Amino acid sequence: MKKMLFAFCVFTASITEAQTTNFYTTVTNLWYQGQKAEVLALGQERLNINSNDMAGLIIKLEYEGEFLQLESISNTLHKVLSIGELITNVNFKTQYPNLKETIESDLEIIAIFSGFNLSQDELEAERAKGLIPHKPFALYKELEALQKDGLFEPLEP
């Protein structure tokens, strides 16, 4: 029991340290390893502290897209657009036009396909594909830009 508690403490400390020293690498590695729920938890933790945290929003967006969370993805897409417009840091500002174009395209696709109803079985089959490991984090350039801009400083609750 003591060994398990010690291992948990070491794991938690290493995750916390990784979040503050190289958040981008932590997120992209966990995602690639298939630990997508853990990545979402890191993003949600940031959003619980600041609902406008771009890193948290990008993680949430990636997760919702990967797992076809159709009930919430449009709102997240719009929020990423609105917050992204406000960020003036050089690295993110360079990446933002590509992100904006992708989001606008995604919103159009969602509008087109909203009339098509997938059966629950079809939806579950598509969502199961999100669990496949060794898939890269698609929005990695945006996360990397945020880190280069120094926007991953530890958030204080």
Question: Tens digit of pLDDT for each residue in 87-132?
Answer: 999 999 999 999 999 999 999 988 877 767 778 898 899 899 999 9
Question: Tens digit of pLDDT for each residue in 15-63?
Answer: 444 444 589 999 999 999 999 999 999 999 999 999 999 999 999 999 9
pLDDT for 45: 96
pLDDT for 29: 96
Banded pLDDT at 8 (limits 50, 70, 90): very low
Distances 136 to 36, 84, 90 between C-alpha atoms, Å: 11, 22, 24
Q: Which two tokens stand for residue 52?
A: 């406008």
pLDDT for 22: 87
- Angle (CA) 124-129-133 rounded to 5° is 145
Cα separation of 21 and 32, whole Å?
Answer: 19
pTM: 0.82
pLDDT for 118: 79
Question: Tens digit of pLDDT for each residue in 124-149?
Answer: 998 999 999 999 999 999 999 999 99
pLDDT for 71: 87
Banded pLDDT at 79 (limits 50, 70, 90): very high
Q: Are 93 and 100 in contact (CB under 8 A)?
A: no
Element (H, E) at 75: helix 73-84
